[in-house]
Chain A
Amino acid sequence: MSLAEPIAGTGTPIATGTPEVDAAPETQSVPWPHRHLLDVDGLSADEIDLVMRTTDAMREVLARPIAKVPALRGRNVTILFYEASTRTRVSFEVAAKNLSADVVNIAAATSSVTKGESLVDTVRTIEALGADMLVMRHPASGAPYLAAEIFGGSVLNGGDGWHAHPTQALLDLYTIRERLLPAPGAAPRTATASGQLLAGRKVVILGDLLHSRVARSNIWTLTAAGADLWLCGPSTLLRGFEAWASRGAAGRRFTVTSNIDAALRDADVVMALRIQRERMASGLLPSLREYAARYGLTRARLAAARPDALVMHPGPMNEGVEIAPDVAVGTNSVITEQVTNGVAVRMALLYLLAGVKS
């Protein structure tokens, strides 16, 4: 009977063994077992598909006159960022507030971190202050994994060093899925039997791969979706990826090249990455100007891709360096859609993680 009276029986003690509920709530066809979201490498194709479908529901919520539902009422979501951020931090905050969670924001720069408090102590303090979910960004790869070992609730990785940015990868996949796949009604938008959502689609990630946690997470989701994935940039910024590609670990295959013309040819999706000057050791690039000239995504270069190719960028952009300003706001650009979808994807993830008890 589905939702007829599934919320019955909650006035009396649960799990007593006596049947008191008319029908249990309709549970997910795919169980969601993850208490934390640290990276996308641990997600199965079915679980990724569940995130996508839950995001569809959240998009509907965002379209309501009052874009707010009480699903996480009474939950405390603490957002701890050790690095600068606009869209990820604000997007998580908006997502949590749309689900009626209480949100606490901590910027490391104005916290006791500046007095020498360790990450472990900070996380313990946050938990003692009542946090149920912890969203964190840290410049050290792996920091959220340490936090997850200590924290009693759920940890969501909002970006750790060069390692992972799982919510970005999932919002990128959602944006591609929305734009490349047929509208509802025309054909099912969920994964096919083979799980190959993007089979036969050419996706290019262009730019500073070396320092990119966005790319490292996207490699997992895009290859899992069956995309023909190309990584392109100057060879100094591709270090390590060729070895990864040649291992072809767990069926993850992609092409690594410095030849931008070959990479862009007939591409369905071009994702430009920011040149991360703050992480850049000297000697990797002769100059930003030379980078822009040889690898900048310009209108002329984009002409080699399919006419309806999607232009993406995780932001923030250095316009005129990795992407030309007219391309960033051009008709192919879905960059602002990525930002909007980011709120819905993060709502979906907060909702799914909140259902897993510690």
Chain B
Amino acid sequence: MTADEIRRAVVRISHEIVEKQAGTSGLALVGIQRRGVPLAQRIAEAIEEHEGARLPVGALDITFYRDDLSMIAQQPVVKGTDLPFDLNGLTIVLVDDVLYTGRTIRAAMDALVDFGRPQAIRLAVLVDRGHRELPIRADHVGKNVPTSREEVVRVHLAETDASDGVEIERAPAGYGAPKVEAVG
């Protein structure tokens, strides 16, 4: 995807979110660290542009809720959670860059419900690349990208990576296999 395609996808998702909710009341956006956070901000800005209402935006770090914490060699970086609103009764739209196995979203939902009881949780992603391992689907998708498991989807955003774009690459050999190192 080019920067323009990303921009159009964000605008379309912003319209879909408002359409589904029939307005902006009771809505909040929560970006999943790390690239879900700037995407959530962009969606909020797009909604503000066409609806004139600024939605609350939060950031969610799912590190402590990962299902593989006991399997990886080094504890991952904790990038911080900031939910500056009471999410009881709100419709929360989770925002992430890529939907793949669904495990991140499972962790994010577990994390969210520890903060309160949202009225509903929806999911918006920039790219759905398939290969789900959990019964999870996205409500709003920027682009469906058929991939094989051997490929890597790289999303880069200006806020975190200097420019916008989505590319599919063949994974380098051994990429993604958790490093098992002798430590201690």
Q: Which residues of B lie under 8 Å from residue A99 when comparing CB positions?
A: 64
Nearest-neighbour CB distance to chain B for A325, whole angstroms, equals: 39
Q: Does B19 contact A (CB under 8 A)?
A: no
Complexed CA–CA distance, A12 and B100 (Å): 14
Q: Which residues of B lie under 8 Å from residue A140 when comparing CB positions?
A: none
Interface centre among B33, B107, B178 (most CB of A within 10 A): B178
Contact bitstring B7-45, A, C-beta under 8 A = 1, else 0: 000000000000000000000000011111000000000
Contact bitstring A83-110, B, C-beta under 8 A = 1, else 0: 0000000000000000100000000000
For residue A100, which residue of chain B has the nearest CB? B64
Complexed CA–CA distance, A357 and B184 (Å): 7
* Interchain CB contact under 8 A, A1 and B114: no
* Interchain CB contact under 8 A, B107 and A4: no
* Interchain CB contact under 8 A, A5 and B100: yes
Interface centre among B61, B70, B75 (most CB of A within 10 A): B75
* Interchain CB contact under 8 A, B100 and A8: yes
* Interchain CB contact under 8 A, A1 and B35: yes
For residue B78, which residue of chain A has the nearest CB? A57
Choose among B80, B96, B177 the residue that contacts A20 (Cβ–Cβ < 8 A): B177
Choose among A4, A14, A68 the residue that contacts B96 (Cβ–Cβ < 8 A): A4
Q: Does B98 contact A (CB under 8 A)?
A: yes
Contact bitstring A31-53, B, C-beta under 8 A = 1, else 0: 11111100000000000000000
* Interchain CB contact under 8 A, B183 and A8: no
Nearest-neighbour CB distance to chain A for B172, whole angstroms, equals: 8
* Interchain CB contact under 8 A, B72 and A25: yes
* Interchain CB contact under 8 A, B75 and A28: yes
* Interchain CB contact under 8 A, A1 and B101: no
Query: Provided the pairs A1-B97, A15-B180, A69-B64 are in contact, do residues A54 and B78 lie with their beta carbons within 8 angstroms?
Result: yes
Q: Does A352 contact B (CB under 8 A)?
A: yes
Complexed CA–CA distance, A15 and B180 (Å): 7
Complexed CA–CA distance, A75 and B70 (Å): 9
Binds B, one of A59-67, A171-179, A259-267, A306-314: A59-67
Interface centre among A21, A22, A352 (most CB of B within 10 A): A22
Q: Does B4 contact A (CB under 8 A)?
A: no
Q: Does B85 contact A (CB under 8 A)?
A: no
Nearest-neighbour CB distance to chain A for B174, whole angstroms, equals: 6
Q: Which residues of A lie under 8 Å from residue B160 when comparing CB positions?
A: 2
Q: Does B69 contact A (CB under 8 A)?
A: yes
* Interchain CB contact under 8 A, A3 and B72: no
Q: Which residues of A lie under 8 Å from residue B116 when comparing CB positions?
A: 65
User: What is the number of residues of chain A that contact chain B, defined by CB distance less than 8 Å?
Assistant: 55
Choose among A15, A64, A74 the residue that contacts B114 (Cβ–Cβ < 8 A): A64
Q: Which residues of A lie under 8 Å from residue B178 when comparing CB positions?
A: 14-15, 21, 24
Number of A-B contacts (CB under 8 A): 183
Q: Does B99 contact A (CB under 8 A)?
A: yes
Query: Provided the pairs A7-B68, A7-B107 are in contact, do residues A1 and B153 lie with their beta carbons within 8 angstroms?
Result: yes
* Interchain CB contact under 8 A, A25 and B71: no
Q: Does A29 contact B (CB under 8 A)?
A: yes
* Interchain CB contact under 8 A, B176 and A27: no
Q: Which residues of A lie under 8 Å from residue B76 when comparing CB positions?
A: 3, 6, 25-28
* Interchain CB contact under 8 A, B184 and A358: yes
Interface centre among B101, B114, B116 (most CB of A within 10 A): B101
Interface centre among A1, A7, A19 (most CB of B within 10 A): A7
Q: Does A354 contact B (CB under 8 A)?
A: yes
Nearest-neighbour CB distance to chain A for B32, whole angstroms, equals: 6
Q: Which residues of A lie under 8 Å from residue B97 when comparing CB positions?
A: 1, 4
Where the two chains meet, the residues of A that have a C-beta atom closer than 8 Å to any C-beta of B are: 1-11, 14-29, 31-36, 54, 56-57, 60-61, 64-66, 68-71, 74-75, 99, 351-352, 354-358
- Other A-B contacts than A4-B35, A7-B62, A15-B178, 14 sampled, CB-CB below 8 A, are A1-B155, A3-B33, A4-B98, A7-B68, A14-B178, A16-B177, A18-B150, A19-B149, A20-B176, A24-B176, A31-B183, A65-B114, A71-B69, A356-B183
List 6 A-B pairs, minimum CB-CB distance, nearest first.
Answer: A355-B75, A35-B184, A21-B176, A5-B100, A69-B64, A19-B171
Could you write out 8 A-B pairs with CB less than 8 Å apart? A2-B34, A4-B35, A6-B66, A9-B176, A14-B71, A32-B74, A57-B61, A60-B80
Where the two chains meet, the residues of B that have a C-beta atom closer than 8 Å to any C-beta of A are: 32-36, 61-82, 96-101, 103-104, 107, 110-111, 114-116, 129, 131, 133, 149-150, 152-155, 160, 171-180, 183-184
